[in-house]
Amino acid sequence: MQKTHSTSSVSATCQNCKKDFEIRKEDLIFYDQVKVPPPLYCPDCRAQRRLAFRNERTLYRRACDLCNKDGVSIYPAGTVFPVYCHSCWWGDEWDPIDYGINYDPKQSFLEQFAELKNKVPRVRLLSINSVNTEYENNSSENKNCYLIFAAENNEDCLYGRLIQSCKNSMDCAFLYSSELCYECIDTRKSFKCFYGERLQECVDVLFSFDMRNCQNCIFCTNGRNLSYAIENKSCTKEDYEKKRTEILASYASIEAAKKKYAEIRNEAVVKYAFATKCVHATGDYMYNCFDGVRIFDTSNAKNCSYIADTEDPIDCQDVNNHYFKGERCYNVMGALQDTNCIADVFVFYCNRVGYSDSTRDSQDCFGCVGLNNKKYCILNKQYEKESFEKLRTQIIAEMTKAGVYGEFFPPELSPFGYNETLAQEYYPLTEKEAKERGFLWQKETTGTYGKETIQENEMPKTADEINEKILDQILVCKDCKKNFRITRAEFDFYKRMNLPLPHKDFECRHQDRMKKRNPRQLWPRSCMCELGNHQHGGAKCENEFETSYSPDRKEKIYCEHCYQQEVY
């Protein structure tokens, strides 16, 4: 049910979670431009659907269904659809047009699409032009890397998500153009930094938050141009080296430092949003974004809303993992340089493609899977232009009448279990909850349990105690109890950086990092600044904003003006 306000916005009730949400007048203009009805679901439920189609980090081993070569895959053995290795899927030994089916107006279009989707081969991994990097996904141009995801142009990097143009770094997330970093988040152009958050152009910074152009700092926050500082107070080089050695001396000393850092971080001043050069934009982790709402982890967006993990989008809404100047797209998950696309999954360099999956370099296609360099196709069947236009118009009319046109694919069409996807990371559900909402669930577990050859309390406690014998041991995660090993490259990194071994497996370490980032939700709040030397003269600042810092957070949340006066 929808109700129109005098401002021309519309209030609606989500058909999934039953919560009320607003459809802004700007949204209505966009829907009119791309010729789709207003959405039936709230922004969170729409994002949840899209994310349920993206498995980034759950990996299996299986044979290619064409050449039989064994390899790493995001699909387990036994799927209803064939799975090909990279060479076979991109090769000329099969043609997706051979799987084409005739549209039957007596049957639901999405049912016919599901039938097609379960026949066409899918690529085992999305990995392009990487060298000696078997364990990666949604990644390209990497060399000598291991377990990195959504990553490009890296060398000798291990265990990370969204790392770009980095070298010799490990256990990081959202790391850019950096080297020799460990356990860093949202860090750019930094060198030899450990356990840091929101570092930019920093060197030798340890357990610090929101630092720019700083070096040799420990337990610092909101630092600008600091050198040799502990807890934001100047220190000698000798004091710095002594403190650093004490912290990195053992696993126990690092765990103690983590607790102290958490307390210090909670006392930091934070801007309402991690945003730079943004105008009329709400969200978090934004750079150079204009005119939009609910924007997360995005750079250079213009007139875009309800988006996340995107670069350079223009006039787009409800898109995730959308890169290279996509334009006028709606309800798309995973795309490169696409235009005028609606309700797609993994479409690369496409124009006017709708309700399609794993399609590249194509235009004017609808309901297709696996196509490459095609035009005027529906359900993988080739048509003349006039016949294509007529049939697509008919299908859209029937989908609109059924109330599904413009909406993303229903959850049961995802090739993944909900617990394998990014949806579980941002919108966690139990198996029962997921199935009640129509999502699939993967019961096959990856990894092993109970095979450890060394207990946690028997592990080396310092970097000096680590020797090559650890490479033959099977370890156990202190949290999830899954077994894991130390690789040779990982061992070399710990020894080089004088770091003790972790006591958790990769996935639990990743989840610990992600918990330090703000959620993709917004709350209305007001500036907490009461400083007398600011423009509000000692009275509480009256500026209000939407922020991803929930009201129960301990940090001091400032508007941009107060933050800049206090920090810069």
Contact 456, 476 (CB under 8 A): yes
Q: What is the mean pLDDT of residues 366-391?
A: 98
Q: Is the pLDDT assigned to residue 2 strictly greater than 60?
A: no
Task: Please give the mean pLDDT across all residues of the chain.
Answer: 95
Place 258 in a pLDDT band, splitting at 50, 70 and 90.
very high
Contact 145, 155 (CB under 8 A): yes
Cα gap 350→368, rounded to integer Å: 12
Q: Is the pLDDT assigned to residue 3 strictly greater than 50?
A: no
Q: What is the mean pLDDT of residues 381-400?
A: 98
For residue 9, the model assigns a pLDDT of: 86
Cα gap 520→320, rounded to integer Å: 12
Q: What is the mean pLDDT of residues 305-310?
A: 97
SS3 41: coil
Report the DSSP beta bridge partners of residue 2: 12
For residue 535, the model assigns a pLDDT of: 84
Q: What is the mean pLDDT of residues 339-364?
A: 98
Give the angle 100-106-112 at the CA atoms, nearest 5°.
35
Place 30 in a pLDDT band, splitting at 50, 70 and 90.
very high
Integer CA distances (angstroms), 433 to 41, 424, 425, 427, in order: 18, 11, 15, 11
**Which amino acid, one-letter code, is at 226?**
L
Place 533 in a pLDDT band, splitting at 50, 70 and 90.
confident
Q: What is the DSSP letter of 208?
A: E
For residue 5, the model assigns a pLDDT of: 38
Q: How many residues comprise the chain?
A: 568
Q: Is the pLDDT assigned to residue 385 strictly greater than 50?
A: yes
For residue 4, the model assigns a pLDDT of: 37
Q: What is the DSSP letter of 535?
A: T
CA 491 to the chain's CA centroid: 27
Cα gap 321→346, rounded to integer Å: 9
Q: What is the pTM of this model?
A: 0.95
Helix axes 385-402, 109-117, angle to 10 degrees: 110
Give the angle 357-362-368 at the CA atoms, nearest 5°.
35
Q: Is the pLDDT assigned to residue 223 strictly greater than 50?
A: yes
Q: What is the DSSP letter of 39?
A: P
Q: What is the pLDDT of residues 136-159, one digit of tens each?
A: 999 999 999 999 999 999 999 999
Q: What is the mean pLDDT of residues 333-340?
A: 96
Please choose, from the candidates 500, 453, 462, 502, the residue with its C-alpha nearest in 3D space to the C-alpha of residue 479: 502
